[in-house]
Structure 1
Amino acid sequence: MSMGQEDEPTVGQLVANASRDLSSLVRSEIELGKAELKKTAVKAGTGAGLFGGAAFLGLLAIILLSVAAAYGVSALGLHPALAFLIVAVVYLLIAAVLVLIGKKQLGQAKGPQRAIETSKESVEALKAVGKGD
């Protein structure tokens, strides 16, 4: 053996080095992904918390506006109990309309028609292959 051949790595060493480098690269990519996902999760959690706070304040505003509307109706000369009842009935009517619209939308919703159809075709094709057709 000459000196030049001793310095060159064997195929086994090359494969081991490549495997080690690939493993290190994969681990590094996974760590990078974890770090990015952690930052994204923190931002998403903060955003969700802020939306929750906004929804709570919106609910409080609706309650206060409802009370104000009832007192406004009461200022027209109606008894306060009747004014609050009128505001409640208006909300119930709005809720009923929303329910009817929602029911109509749900009735129009259909399942994944194309996926079901292609699945049935695949089953038929596999049955045909199984029978030897």
Structure 2
Amino acid sequence: MSAPDSADRSLGQLVATAADEMSSLMHDEIALAKAQLRHDVKRGAVSGGAGAVAAAVLIFSLPMLSFALAYGIQSWSGWHISVCFLLSFAASVLVAGLLGLIAMVFAKKAKNGKGPQKTVASAKETAAVLGHVKPHPRAEIPDLTRFPALNERGGETAPAVARSSS
């Protein structure tokens, strides 16, 4: 048995098909929003990772770098060791600041991600369009009593056929 033509389908079948299509569309919109959220979460993870690396570099390298740099500056310039330690500290703070700026750039990119907002706007637009849809007008069925030539039984009226909406 073949599938019925869209002209032969009842109003209920058409409504059911439209509801299924709308449900499918909404599921696809939700899947798209999830994919875009995953992308934004990855950006946030990179930002958090860069911030953690900046903190780790500052914490673990300060003692070693400070001593090495201070003694290196002192042997190169002949300045007092306290001035050399201050310069070493300033260099460590500069490196940490640079890594912190990298973390801020990635955090702004993650915050400004417009992924789910675009999907929500698209879903609202679809719902607004479907909310203003009016049903297609049905063609009038001719009254066979007024046209006996069209009546198959030659003057008798054909029994009325009720159409189901389900």
Please, what TM-score do these two structures have when normalized by structure 2? 0.35
**Larger proportion of helix:** 1
Greater relative CO, 1 or 2 (CA 8 Å, sep 6+): 2
Please, what TM-score do these two structures have when normalized by structure 1? 0.42
